[in-house]
Amino acid sequence: MSGIPCSHACYAIYELSLNIYEMVNPWFKVETQQKLCEHLMSSVPMHDMPNPAIVATADGEGASHLRPPAVTRPPGRPRIKRIESQFQNVRSLHCSRCGENGHNHRKCKAPIPG
């Protein structure tokens, strides 16, 4: 159904001594994908790229590739409580005893209904 034989079909094709690649839909073959993409993708301009022979590392030696930036851990302990997003919906508390917002039944100061 998808154009690529499943494992059961591949085994059946193998048992019949046929070529599995002939049973694959042509859309999934490399040649078709290359024909589709040859006009869509253009080469990347190299006029503003740094010359790797000139780029030097932090210790002053010449290098043939760029080094990643030096990353240090910030001082102090890691944050335990996460920073909530400003777009996150904050759910307000609702008391089941008195029906007011802002607290729940554990912190309710209203008298217990009798």
Tokens of 38: 């040859």
- The residues, any chain, with a CB within 8 Å of residue 2's CB and separated by 6 or more, are 25
9 pLDDT more than 60: yes
Whether pTM > 0.75 for this model: the answer is no
* CB distance 52 to 64 below 8 Å: yes
Tokens of 67: 């080094």
Name which of 6-20, 31-45, 57-71 the model is least confident about: 57-71
Using CA atoms, how far apart are residues 32 and 65, in angstroms rounded to an integer? Answer: 35
55 pLDDT more than 70: no
